[in-house]
């Protein structure tokens, strides 16, 4: 996740125990009636934790490049003010005598492989991901038994406004995946995907659709998940390997969704997209199953590279045939994702040279964090199923 550059000289610990700055406001991600964290008019953020018996407290996570010492006041509360983080959503936590502790004043989100405190810092003038007075869809929990894993799994399913009122209408489907360390709740809680799509539909910029968000981890009975700190085996560019999660999507999830919801079941009416780890899963699953998908979105992660005559099981060798089968190949990254921006440029040049139709999207000023991916979804969805 994104780590914002930290400027120690700008910390305002010396003023931490004054009354709250009247120009500051509680963060919109705070729990009910919680005064901290507070966001100042200039973008600085003040954090506070009551821990009177602690010897040392630090602020850590994606709002700082490294843990930041907090200062203790006479009331036993520890406080610190940090320079303005980048706008968007950021995970953070406290280290209390070395123990990682969530902020009891803020909401938690599943990220970093556990429920983790987060803070929302809106970008002035950008409200496409906020709820508005428009018709709203619903986000439902869909439980299904996976024959592949032998376990019950949960997917979150967005149905568009009017879904229940129009029982004869069927809808195309987008399968939308989260990133590493997150789960099936990420796209609606952190990403606000339902509000983004509600607003697009209200503005008639998108086709009404169902969105399915599943947990991107799956293991067959007897398989062991990767151990903490382990690294995946190196893989050659353009190589697609089968995975248990792919089998879950193709053999378990899609049939269950088509049986439960009023979906349009042809490949022309089915899309898949994902962010970071989810983009790699999307590339793997879609290109191995073009009989199931014809719309592809790669957000801040996977790019098409390698020798296109042989890569990806040869599906890109014939550009004309690929363009006929795949209605949209969409890739994107934020300008603060230097490595991914370089990969995006290389991929764009390769695809253009080979005559493979695609869309490249660049999110200005954002990095590997949820504000990039909200913008990606906001551009991707209006292009679908048209």
Instruction: For the beta carbon of residue 228, count every other beta carbon within 10 angstroms.
Output: 6
DSSP string, 94-155: EEETTEEE--TTB-EEEETTEEEEEEEEPPTT--TTS--SS---EEEEEEEE-TTTSSEEEE
User: Which of left, alpha, beta for 384 (phi over 0: left; psi -120 to 50: alpha)?
Assistant: beta
pLDDT of residue 12: 40
Q: Helix (H) and strand (E) counts for the chain?
A: 8, 19
| Residue 312: C-alpha distances to residues 9, 235, 294, 302, 305 (Å) | 50, 12, 15, 13, 9
Locate tokens 């382990």: which residue? Answer: 230
pLDDT of residue 23: 81
C-alpha 242, offset from chain centre: 23
pLDDT of residue 86: 85
pLDDT of residue 225: 72
The DSSP secondary-structure symbol of 84 reads: P
The DSSP secondary-structure symbol of 253 reads: I
CA distance 288 to 78: 53
Say if CB 146 and CB 256 are below 8 A apart. no
Say if CB 283 and CB 289 are below 8 A apart. no
CA distance 186 to 155: 11
pLDDT of residue 16: 40
Domain with CATH 3.40.50.1820 in the chain: 138-222+238-383
Say if CB 213 and CB 188 are below 8 A apart. yes
CA distance 336 to 314: 33
The DSSP secondary-structure symbol of 248 reads: I
Domain 8-121, CATH among 3.30.70.980, 2.40.128.20, 2.60.40.10, 1.10.630.10: 2.60.40.10
pLDDT of residue 238: 74
For the domain 138-222+238-383, what is the CATH superfamily, name and number? Answer: Alpha/Beta hydrolase fold, catalytic domain (3.40.50.1820)
Cα-flanking dihedrals φ and ψ of residue 364, to 5°?
-70, 125
Question: Which H or E run contains 198?
Answer: helix 193-202
pLDDT of residue 14: 35
- Beta bridge pairs of residue 272: 175, 296
Domain with CATH 2.60.40.10 in the chain: 8-121
What is the SS3 assignment for 339? helix
Per-residue confidence of the chain (386 residues) as pLDDT tens digits? 444 444 443 344 433 444 677 789 999 999 999 999 999 999 999 999 999 999 999 999 999 989 999 999 989 999 999 999 988 899 999 999 999 999 999 999 999 999 999 999 998 889 999 999 999 999 999 999 999 999 999 999 999 999 999 999 999 999 999 999 999 999 999 999 999 999 999 999 999 999 999 999 999 998 877 655 555 555 566 777 779 999 999 999 999 999 999 999 999 999 999 999 999 999 999 999 999 999 999 999 999 998 899 889 899 999 999 999 999 999 999 999 999 999 999 999 999 999 999 999 999 999 899 999 999 999 999 999 99
| Residue 103: C-alpha distances to residues 34, 45, 46, 100, 187 (Å) | 11, 14, 13, 10, 22
- Greatest Cα-to-Cα distance within the chain, rounded to the nearest angstrom: 71
Say if CB 368 and CB 1 are below 8 A apart. yes
The DSSP secondary-structure symbol of 263 reads: B
Radius of gyration of the chain (CA): 22
Interacting residues of 127 by C-beta distance below 8 A, sequence separation 6+: none
What is the SS3 assignment for 273? strand
């Amino acid at each position: 996740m994104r780590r914002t550059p930290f400027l120690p000289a700008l910390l305002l610990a010396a003023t931490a125990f004054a009354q709250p700055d009247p120009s500051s406001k509680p963060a919109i991600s705070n729990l009910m009636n919680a005064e901290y964290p507070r966001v100042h008019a200039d973008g600085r953020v003040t954090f506070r934790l009551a821990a009177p018996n602690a010897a040392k407290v630090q602020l850590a996570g994606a709002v700082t490049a490294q843990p930041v010492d907090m200062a203790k006041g006479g009331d036993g509360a520890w406080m610190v003010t940090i320079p303005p983080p980048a706008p968007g959503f950021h995970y953070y936590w406290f280290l209390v005598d070395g123990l990682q502790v969530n902020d009891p004043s803020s909401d938690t989100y599943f990220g970093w492989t556990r429920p983790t405190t987060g803070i929302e810092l809106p970008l002035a003038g950008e409200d496409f991901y906020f709820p508005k007075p428009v018709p709203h869809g619903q986000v439902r929990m869909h439980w299904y038994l996976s024959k592949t894993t032998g376990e019950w799994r949960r997917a979150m399913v967005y149905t568009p406004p009017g879904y229940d009122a129009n029982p004869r209408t069927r809808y195309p489907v987008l399968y939308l995946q989260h990133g590493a360390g997150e789960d099936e709740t990420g796209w609606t809680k952190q990403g606000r995907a339902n509000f983004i799509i509600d607003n697009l539909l209200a503005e008639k910029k998108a086709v009404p659709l169902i969105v399915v968000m599943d947990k991107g981890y799956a293991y067959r009975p007897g398989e062991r998940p990767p151990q903490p700190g382990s690294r995946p085996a190196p893989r050659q560019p353009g190589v697609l390997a089968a995975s248990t999660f792919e089998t879950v999507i193709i053999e378990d999830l899609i049939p269950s969704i088509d049986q439960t919801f009023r979906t349009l079941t042809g490949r022309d009416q089915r899309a898949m997209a994902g962010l970071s780890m989810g983009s790699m899963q999307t590339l793997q699953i879609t290109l191995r199953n073009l009989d199931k998908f014809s719309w592809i979105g790669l957000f801040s992660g996977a790019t098409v590279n390698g020798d296109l005559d042989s890569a990806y099981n040869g599906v890109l060798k014939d550009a004309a045939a690929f363009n006929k089968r795949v209605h949209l190949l969409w890739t994107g990254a934020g300008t603060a994702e230097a490595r991914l921006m370089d990969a995006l440029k290389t991929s764009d040049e390769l695809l253009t040279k080979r005559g493979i139709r695609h869309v490249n999207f660049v999110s200005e000023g954002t990095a590997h964090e949820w504000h990039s991916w909200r913008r990606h979804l906001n551009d991707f969805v209006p292009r679908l199923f048209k």
